[in-house]
């Protein structure tokens, strides 16, 4: 099948969704599907068209045009999109977007009616509800897949009428080639990894670490990633007296993440806002690392409390500190949780199951043979 993969962002933007998209497209191409990607420039000074590992990529200034309210350029871009859809003549459009680019897709649907799958990565209740472009997109889609039950429940709360044409396909990644190393306890390491933004709550992890360091003076924290909150985070570490105990690695290449996780004793995910799934939690599990995370969004579906890690109240650095300290003080429990996490990841979040689910859904949608139940996890 020829798939038009519509993404809010793609390489060189790198985040959980972008990493997953790259892996998924690569796997589905091996199943015989042909892909073309439409995405936003996202501020990068690169060509409007390019070849990415044999995949045509078309970039537009979606967000910038809408922010500037450039009516002439918006109209010109809509014409280009309509012409592109017509020339590509895809069998299916797979939408992985929840932002400004949706306006440009929805505005060219009438001229180019194509069956559509929309994978939802954002809370509809936090995005303005049913009358937003995201709500319109979900109502128009032939099928909606959510990356967690929390996401699907949120969609059904706002749009109960689409329950019969929606399902869950959990995010996944192939198991890394790197073998998990023993958890280090003589000099424990705590790891936070992701985009350095306020919503990720890394400042809460620093406050928790300040308390932990008093009982575990050899403990160190690694904060991996980059983003607009970096300067504030460094300032926070300095004010807490942690300047020499915290390592800020900056940007980490996706293929290096398993090796980085291998250095950690505990992976900390103190997210403030609704995590659609929690890909870092899955990556930690694949490397047999216990996770301490906030009980929010899809994280409780990835982190089984008391079995593969510990879940704590949102915005509570004291609870974070207590949970992390309990694992550092009880190595046997932490090791057991890590091993359980790895086994659970292999069983419930199998990469082959994820690829099979999308492959099957592509074929069913294109042939108008949707038979999945809305409450099932497509695997």
Give the pLDDT score at 45: 83
**Percentage of the residues of the chain whose pLDDT score is greater than 90:** 80
Residue 251: how many other CB atoms lie within 10 Å: 11
Note the pLDDT of residue 99.
Answer: 83
Give the per-residue pLDDT at 371.
46
Q: What is the mean pLDDT of residues 246-272?
A: 94
Taking a C-beta distance cutoff of 8 angstroms, is the pair 142, 365 a contact?
yes
- Of 14-18, 59-63, 113-117, 184-188, the one with minimum mean pLDDT is 14-18
For residue 377, name the pLDDT band (cuts at 50, 70, 90). very low
Q: What is the pLDDT of residue 368?
A: 67
26-36 pLDDT, tens per residue?
999 999 999 99
User: Between 126 and 373, where is the model more confident?
Assistant: 126
d(CA 327, CA 334): 5
Instruction: Kindly state the DSSP code that residue 140 receives in the 8-state scheme.
Output: H
Q: Over the Cα atoms of the chain, what is R_g? A: 21
In Å, what is the CA distance from 115 to each residue of 39, 139, 211, 305? 19, 13, 54, 39
DSSP string, 85-112: HHHH--SEEEEE--STHHHHHHTTTTTS
Residue 10 has a pLDDT of 86
Name the DSSP class of 247: E
What's the average model confidence in pLDDT over 151-165? 93
Q: State yes or no: pLDDT of 273 exceeds 90.
A: no
pLDDT, residue 127, reads 63
The span from the first CA to the last CA of the chain, in angstroms, equals 20
Work out the mean pLDDT of the chain and round it to a whole number.
Answer: 91
> Would you say residue 372 has pLDDT above 50?
no
Reply yes or no on whether the pLDDT at 128 is more than 80. Answer: no
Q: Please tell me the predicted confidence (pLDDT) of residue 314.
A: 93
What pLDDT, on a 0 to 100 scale, did the predictor assign at position 366? Answer: 82
In DSSP terms, which residues pair with 305 in a beta bridge? Answer: 309
Read off φ and ψ for residue 294, nearest 5 degrees.
-80, 150
What is the token pair recorded at 216? 């575990």
Is residue 351 within 8 A of residue 172, CB to CB? The reply is yes
Report how far Cα 343 is from the mean position of its chain's Cα atoms.
Answer: 21
pTM of whole model > 0.85?
Answer: yes
pLDDT, tens digit, for every residue of 293-329?
999 999 999 999 999 999 999 999 999 999 999 999 9
Model confidence pLDDT, tens digit, residues 6-17:
998 888 776 778
The Cα–Cα gap between 203 and 207 comes to 6
Pick from 5-14, 190-199, 229-238, 261-270: least confident = 5-14
Q: Which domains does the chain have, with CATH numbers?
A: 2-172+350-366 (3.40.50.2000), 189-348 (3.40.50.2000)
Query: Residue 373 above 80 pLDDT?
Result: no
- pLDDT single digits (tens) 36-85: 999 999 878 889 999 999 999 999 999 999 999 989 999 999 999 999 99
Cα separation of 80 and 85, whole Å?
9
Q: Interhelix angle for 317-329 vs 202-215, to 10°?
A: 50
Q: Using CA atoms, how far apart are residues 154 and 135, in angstroms rounded to an integer?
A: 12
**Higher pLDDT among residues 206 and 18, named by residue:** 206
Residue environment code for 208-233, b if the CB has 16+ CB neighbours within 10 A, otherwise e: bbbbbbeebeebbbbbbbbbebbeeb
Mean pLDDT throughout 181-210?
A: 96
Tokens of 34: 């042909």
Interhelix angle 351-366/16-30, nearest 10 degrees: 70
- Mean of pLDDT values over 148-161: 93
Residues 6+ apart with CB under 8 A from 371: 364
Q: What is the structure's pLDDT at 126?
A: 67
């Amino acid at each position: 099948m020829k798939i038009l993969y519509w993404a809010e962002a793609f390489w060189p933007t790198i985040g959980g969704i972008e990493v997953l998209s790259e892996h998924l497209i690569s796997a589905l191409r091996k199943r015989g599907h042909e892909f073309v990607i439409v995405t936003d420039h996202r501020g990068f000074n690169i060509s409007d068209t390019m070849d990415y590992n044999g995949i045509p990529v078309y970039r537009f200034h979606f967000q910038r045009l809408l922010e500037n309210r450039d009516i002439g350029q918006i109209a010109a871009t809509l014409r280009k999109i309509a012409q592109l859809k017509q020339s590509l003549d895809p069998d299916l459009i797979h939408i992985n977007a929840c932002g400004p680019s949706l306006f440009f897709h929805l505005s060219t649907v009438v001229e180019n009616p194509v069956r559509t799958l929309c994978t939802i990565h954002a809370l509809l209740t936090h995005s303005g509800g049913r009358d937003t472009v995201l709500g319109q997109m979900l109502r128009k889609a032939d099928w909606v897949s959510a990356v967690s039950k929390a996401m699907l429940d949120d969609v059904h709360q706002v749009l109960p009428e689409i329950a019969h044409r929606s399902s869950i396909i959990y995010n996944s990644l192939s198991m890394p080639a790197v073998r998990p190393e023993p958890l280090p306890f003589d000099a424990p390491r705590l790891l936070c990894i992701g985009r350095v933004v306020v919503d990720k709550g890394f400042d809460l992890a620093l406050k928790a670490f300040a308390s932990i360091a008093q009982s575990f003076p050899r403990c160190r924290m690694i904060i991996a990633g980059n983003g607009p909150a970096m300067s504030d985070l460094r300032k926070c570490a300095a004010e807490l007296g942690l300047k020499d105990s915290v390592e800020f690695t900056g940007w980490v290449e996706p293929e290096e993440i398993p090796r980085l996780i291998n250095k950690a004793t505990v992976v900390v995910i103190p997210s403030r806002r609704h995590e659609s799934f929690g890909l870092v939690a899955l990556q930690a599990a694949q490397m047999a690392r216990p996770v301490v995370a906030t009980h929010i969004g899809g994280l409780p579906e990835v982190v089984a409390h008391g079995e593969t890690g510990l879940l704590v109240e949102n915005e509570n650095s004291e609870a974070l500190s207590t949970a992390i300290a309990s694992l550092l003080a009880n190595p046997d429990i932490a090791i057991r949780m890590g091993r359980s996490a790895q086994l659970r990841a292999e069983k419930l979040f199998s990469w082959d199951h994820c690829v099979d689910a999308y492959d099957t859904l592509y074929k069913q949608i294109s042939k108008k043979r949707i038979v999945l139940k809305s409450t099932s996890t497509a695997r």
